[in-house]
Amino acid sequence: MAKKDSTNMLVDRFRAAGFKITPQRMAVFQFLEGNTSHPSAYEVYEVVKRRFSTTSFATIYNTLNAAQEMGLVLELTLDPKKRHFDPNTSPHHHILCMKCRRIDDVRGKVFGDFNIDSFEIGDYQVTGFGVDFHGVCPKCRAQQH
């Protein structure tokens, strides 16, 4: 498959922020671009290591941290056992399967036309909120029977 270097937004923005793009970092961003599986740092590491056997976990971890600090990827903390990463940085909710630990996006509006501006908590000015769901995914439900 031809490399889509010039169309990879993550690579472009990472480079624009002054970071050097190494082949390993390129592989990280190629794996993440458009990825909806919410991989953990270790999963990203395993994919990159298949192509670059000398890659260290620290390299992957540092790249993901830098990308997260720049707002290129979201860090998901709903699984207390692992950090997961999501290249979709627009606001959306997640659901964690308590059996296989997969994370899916929650589609549609969960709270209808909830208006954050008219929501009050004590004397706080509320600027946002985070809600994580957990449950049992379709695959695990099928195995329960």
Q: Compute the distance between CA of residue 114 and CA of residue 118 in angstroms, rounded to an integer.
A: 9
Q: How many chain residues bind Zn ion (CB under 5 A)?
A: 8
Instruction: Indicate the residue among 56 and 98 with the shorter CB distance to Zn ion.
Output: 98
Look-up: residue for tokens 């695959």? Answer: 139
Residue 140 binds to Zn ion (criterion: CB under 5 A): yes
The closest of 35, 31, 38 to 93, measured between CA atoms, is: 38
Binding Zn ion (rule: CB under 5 A), the pick from 105, 114, 126, 143 is 105
Q: Compute the distance between CA of residue 90 and CA of residue 1 in angstroms, rounded to an integer.
A: 29
- The piece of 44-52, 59-67, 82-90, 125-133 that touches Zn ion (CB under 5 A) is 82-90
Q: How far is CA 110 from CA 3, 5, 91, 92, 136, in A?
A: 38, 36, 12, 9, 18
Binders of Zn ion in range 119-138 (CB under 5 A) = 137
Residue 43 C-beta: closest distance to Zn ion, Å: 15
Instruction: Indicate the residue among 68 and 88 with the shorter CB distance to Zn ion.
Output: 88
Q: Which spans of this chain sit near Zn ion (rule: CB under 5 A)?
A: 86, 88, 97, 99-100, 105, 137, 140
